[in-house]
Amino acid sequence: MREYNEFEIDPTVRQMIAESQRLPEGPEKVMMLEEAVRIADTGNDVKLQYDAREELIEGAFWSGETEKALVAYTWCLAQFDKNPALFMEWSLLWRYKWIVNIAFHFPQIPKEQIYEMLDEMERRYRRAGYGLRVVYYYRHRIEKFFGNRDAAIEHFNYAQTLARDTLSDCAACETDERVSFQIYCENDDLALDLAEPILLGRQRCRTVPQRTLGHVLLPLARLGRWDEAWDYHLRGYSMISGKPSLLEYLSDHLLFVGLYGDFERGARLLEKHFDWVKQITDQYDRYLFYRAALLFLDILSDSGTATIELRMPESFPLYESGGVYETAKLKAWFEARAREIAEKFDVRNGSDSMTKELAETPDLKRVRRRAAGLLNA
């Protein structure tokens, strides 16, 4: 708890920001930065309030508490518009990307508002003299999310033709985007070729190769390249297993482990990371986790495993103090959670793409590993 008087607001806030930078991503860091913002707000130094919020945006975003980043960001945006000379435009515009990413992952934010955000992004980038490459990458992502395949492909191709500049995603991120796009277009081989610079360690950044190592698992599995996939799983998982904000990529791993057939590992992943779901407010990330868990449990029950031992937290609605769960019951629970979210998204998106994806999830079992003794099929 901080004691301070009005003359000490600035040093107190700066001190807290410095301290927060030494903390790992997670609730403690976010709490400290929220506190810094609150203290900054007791004074009337707009610059300080802005700086503290920028740190909060950064901390909350990377800690998976994205709605807090969104709220702080809108405040900064408004202050910037009031007094552009006081703040750095580049970093504000850079983080605009995050905000778009955050916003469309919350189903309660309507479609028109997402489009409006993109238009505003385009206006702001243009006015500040930047290119629109990244804007169109985001337009493509969003159309993909909304289930508008043609528009997604069109935006992606257009983005590719625009020049890179300092607001573009870094080279490693763009490679990853191309990999994801080719997976989306069902060109697994091409996707894996494109991923090579990342997989060989020649391109990297804050989220790459972690992201890519998750993305390539399913394509590799589809192509029967299980050994490579397993290696990438080990590599990728060890890089994210301590970072709740990367729940999205973790889901790729859980999905893969189920298909690979390592049930023991799958169970450990499920129980360990179920706890993160509470922490992560991003609805789409939650959906991905529930969906991966559902597939894992589905495979498990296909293999004749009626019960599973899991250490779930007491807050889990199906909590059993003995830690033994019926596979079928668990599966139904995860399926229901995934469906709830998918339905909300579909209503918002005006499409049926997510519920359809969820309904088709069991089809992924076709790509299960058929190792000796693992399957009767």
Partner 1 sequence: MDYRFQVNLGGIIDLLSHHIYSSPQVFIRELLQNGVDAITARLHAEPGHLGEVHIELPAQVVGQSPSLIFRDNGIGLTEEEIHLFLATIGQTSKRGGLPDDRTDFIGQFGIGLLSCFVVSEEIVVVTRSAKRGSPTVEWRGHADGTYTINVIEREMEPGTEVLLRCKDGSEEYFEPETVRRLAHHYGSLLLHPIRMTTPEGSFQINDEEPPWKGEYSTPALEREAYLEFGRQVFETDFLDYIPLQSSIGDVRGVAFVLPYSMSLAARRTHRVYLKNMLRSEDAEGLLPDWAFFVKCVVNANDLRPTASRESFYEDEALAATRDSLGRSLRNYLLEIAEREPKRLKKLIQLHYLSIKALAAEDEEFFRIFINWLPFETNMGTMTLTEYRREHEVIRYARGLDQFRQVARVAASQSLCVINAAYTYDVQLLLKLREVFPEARFQEVDGDTLSHSFEYLTLDEQDEIERFLKYAEHTLRPFDCLVEVRKFSPEDLPALYTASEEANFRRTIEKTKEVTDSFWSSVLDNLEDGTLEDADGRLCFNYRNPVINKVCRMSDETLLRLSIQVLYVQALLLGHRPINAREMKLLNDGLMGLVEWGADLIVDGVQ
Point out which residues bind partner 1 (CB under 8 A): 1, 21-24, 26-28, 31-32, 34-35, 37-39, 41, 67-68, 70-72, 74-75, 77-79, 81-82, 103, 106-110, 113, 116-117, 120, 200-202, 231, 234-235, 238-239, 242, 281, 311, 313
Q: Shortest distance, CB of residue 150 to partner 1, whole angstroms? A: 27
Q: Which is nearer to partner 1, 77 or 367 (CB)?
A: 77
Identify the CA nearest to 162 among candidates 134, 140, 181.
134
Least separation in angstroms between residue 157's CB and partner 1 is: 29
Nearest distance, CB of residue 298 and partner 1, angstroms: 27
Q: Please, which residue, 23 or 367, has the CB nearer to partner 1?
A: 23
> What is the token pair recorded at 310?
């899991």
Q: Coil, strand, or helix at residue 309?
A: strand
CB 64, CB 245: distance < 8 Å: yes
* 53 vs 155 by CB, closer to partner 1: 53
Q: CB of 253 within 8 A of CB of 216?
A: no
**Cα 106 from Cα 282, distance rounded (Å):** 7
Residue 373 C-beta: closest distance to partner 1, Å: 21
Give the integer Cα–Cα distance in Å for 224 and 277.
31
Instruction: Find the shortest distance in angstroms from Cβ 220 to partner 1.
Output: 15
The least CB distance from residue 153 to partner 1, in Å, is 28
63 or 182: whose CB is closer to partner 1? 63
Give the nearer residue to partner 1 in terms of CB position, either 1 or 163: 1
Neighbours of 262 (CB within 10 A): 17
Quickly count: other Cβ atoms within 10 Å of residue 63's Cβ: 25
Query: CB of residue 53 vs partner 1: minimum separation in angstroms?
Result: 9
One-letter-per-residue 3-state SS of 266-293: HHHHHHHHHHHHHHCCCHHHHHHHHHHH
Using the minimum distance from each CB to partner 1, give the nearer residue, 224 or 242: 242
| Residues in the chain, overall count | 377
Q: Which is nearer to partner 1, 344 or 365 (CB)?
A: 344
Handedness of CA 51, 54, 56, 58 (dihedral sign): negative
Contact predicate 205/173, CB 8 Å:
yes
Contact yes or no for 46/11 (Cβ under 8 A): no
